[in-house]
Amino acid sequence: MSVLVLGGAGYIGSHMVATLLAAKRDVVVVDNLLTGHRSSVPEGVPFYEVDIRDKAALTEVFEKEHIDQVVHFAASSIVPESVEQPLKYFNNNVYGMINLLEVMLDFDVKQIVFSSTAATYGVAKENPIKETTPQNPINPYGESKLQMEHIMKWADQAYGLKWVALRYFNVAGAKTDGSIGEDHPTETHLVPIILQTALGKREKIMMFGDDYNTPDGFNVRDYVHVMDLADAHVLALDYLAKGNDSNQFNLGSANGFSVKQMVEAAREATGKEIPAEIGPRRAGDPDSLVASSAKAREVLGWEPKYDDVKEIIRTAWNWLQKHPNGYEDR
Ligand code: UDP
């Protein structure tokens, strides 16, 4: 019984692999290494450097390995980049999903846990956001992930493919031992940028916009720890293995923090000054994205362990202090 982790050398994927191994599951990793790191995948785990759009190569993986379930992280995920290069997002994410599902069905593999996103909700009509809140993405990244959800829905209807979409809010933090963490070729995410500033690798953090419709004017997001997120994926795999129906769940903490509050929390967590400046708004950013994860708690039995944003930041800080240059330092 093997779980295929697509994108298993990436930030969230590598934490998923670690969690599956700790749970004594057999794991196979596929990653094209465009943004992932080979050294984040432990030795002994079967690894294939394959792009999910390459059908022949993906088919070979399914021929060689006995795959029972799939977890799919292999997608482009940077909001501003998606605004500038929408076709890249539809090609990699949407076409990649079609290709993957075709290969899965060729091998009669019919269970997939999929990393969806809060960005599918766009400017949400209600906060906290529930799974029933209408999805109206305002950037190509969110749109591509929503299309991927829809593709799975129709594949379920036609072929009985069972799927769980986990709609992540803002993922942050690292494995507590600091052995793996977040390291993107071009960093755009708030927490690593704040911490690189704390480390002196950046002069300052630019806070994008102070005129949003939020209590302090800064964008509000809901930060969830990457290991809690990985736990939810294992629960979702087990949910599917038990023969349950396709479903979707928000994964967040129900607590919103503004960009300014995050900088302040990081100052406390690190004891560093962290110079910050206010800059213009970034394209494609909704005011506020906060999750209700009540459904994941009730149906999956998910119990996130990190409810303090400073703790989340501390784990990311631990990784960065041990690896100031990311995976280059491993
Ligand atoms: N952000 C910021 N400065 C940065 C990077 C991000 O102010 O250098 C803000 C961004 O506008 C958003 C929040 O931090 O409100 C989280 O952005 P991130 O890119 O980490 O995740 P996203 O919400 O886009 O998935």
Average pLDDT, the chain: 96
Q: Counting beta carbons within 10 angstroms of the beta carbon of residue 2, is it exposed (0 to 12), middle (13 to 18) or buried (19 or more)?
A: middle
Q: Which residue is closest in CA terms to ligand 1's atom 15?
A: 219
Ligand 1 atom, smallest distance to 80 CA: 24
How confident is residue 330, by pLDDT bands cut at 50, 70 and 90? low
Amino acid type, 297:
R
Give the Å distance between the CA of 256 and the centre of ligand 1: 13
Q: Is 79 in the pocket of ligand 1 (CB under 6 A)?
A: yes
pLDDT at residue 307, rounded to an integer: 87
* Confidence check: pLDDT of 283 > 90: no
Rounded to whole angstroms, the Cα distance separating 80 from 282 reads 7
* pTM attached to this predicted model: 0.96
* Confidence check: pLDDT of 211 > 80: yes
- Report the pLDDT averaged over residues 251-278: 96
| Residue 290 near residue 254, CB atoms below 8 Å | yes
Handedness of CA 102, 105, 109, 113 (dihedral sign): positive
* Confidence check: pLDDT of 253 > 90: no
Q: What is the DSSP string of 284-321?
A: T--SEE-B--HHIIIII----S---HHHHHHHHHHHHH
* Confidence check: pLDDT of 81 > 90: yes
| Residue 240 near residue 69, CB atoms below 8 Å | yes
- Taken in order of first residue, the domains within the chain and their CATH numbers are 2-172+223-251 (3.40.50.720), 190-221+254-322 (3.90.25.10)
* Confidence check: pLDDT of 1 > 80: no
- Report the pLDDT averaged over residues 223-248: 98
Which of 182, 186, 282 to probe ligand 1 with, by most ligand atoms within 8 A of CB?
282
SS3 136: strand
* Confidence check: pLDDT of 329 > 80: no
Rounded to whole angstroms, the Cα distance separating 38 from 40 reads 5
How confident is residue 115, by pLDDT bands cut at 50, 70 and 90? very high
In angstroms, the Cα distances linking 92 to 51, 77, 184 are 9, 10, 17
pLDDT at residue 127, rounded to an integer: 87
